[in-house]
Structure 1
Amino acid sequence: MANRILIVDDAAFMRMMIRDILTKNGYEVVGEAPDGAQAVEKFKELKPDLITMDITMPEMDGISALKEIRKIDANAKVIMCSAMGQQAMVIDAIQAGAKDFIVKPFQADRVIEAIKKTLG
């Protein structure tokens, strides 16, 4: 069975890019969310195996959403997505429980490597 992944990013274009990389590599995208608040709701509803989460989003940022999701499921697997120059936020995300991070613009091989590593 394909691993089920939730994609969270406020930019539809970025969600489309990740969805493309994932589906081409045999992963099942079970849902998408444009902000952290919706990500938490979708996580409860869909119970994905993994989440790719943008750090900077309106409503609720990725780190806050990560903390909420980890309250629901301490074993939730989340990979943070960040733009260049967000090192401090990436460190916060790792401390909050993110398993890995990928930098935009996405390199397909790096995305797949992070997902394989996180899913074991």
Structure 2
Amino acid sequence: MDHTQAHAYLLNKPFSSVGQPFGPDVDVFKVKDKMFATLSPGRYSEGETRHWWLNLKCDPNEAQALRDIFEAVIPGYHMNKRLWNTVILDGSVPRGEIERMIDNSFLLVVQKMTKKQREAVLLHL
């Protein structure tokens, strides 16, 4: 999955929106004003390919398991490292797995909403 595909998948979630409160290089994706993902060009050294980085909320136990399985999944860059992972979009993580991680991040945020907000979102899944 590349950054264009990730962007489209993130925005396809019900009630999702994108903004750039941290500057023009960081897209912040929210569901009903609650952040569930960020997408930005990642750090790189000269001579390396610059890959996009996708920050996703994650259950703490699953977060560590994903880091153990995939080299391209690291503790959340500029985020709470216990609750967020960064997925480096270098092609090494299967698209279906990235979509599953996005879905889980979205649902973790939705589950923390009020009952009324949660039901409005879940109705569209």
Q: Same fold (TM over 0.5)?
A: no
Query: What TM-score comes out, normalization by structure 2 length?
Result: 0.36
Give the helix-richer structure, 1 or 2. Answer: 1
Query: What TM-score comes out, normalization by structure 1 length?
Result: 0.37
Give the strand-richer structure, 1 or 2. Answer: 2
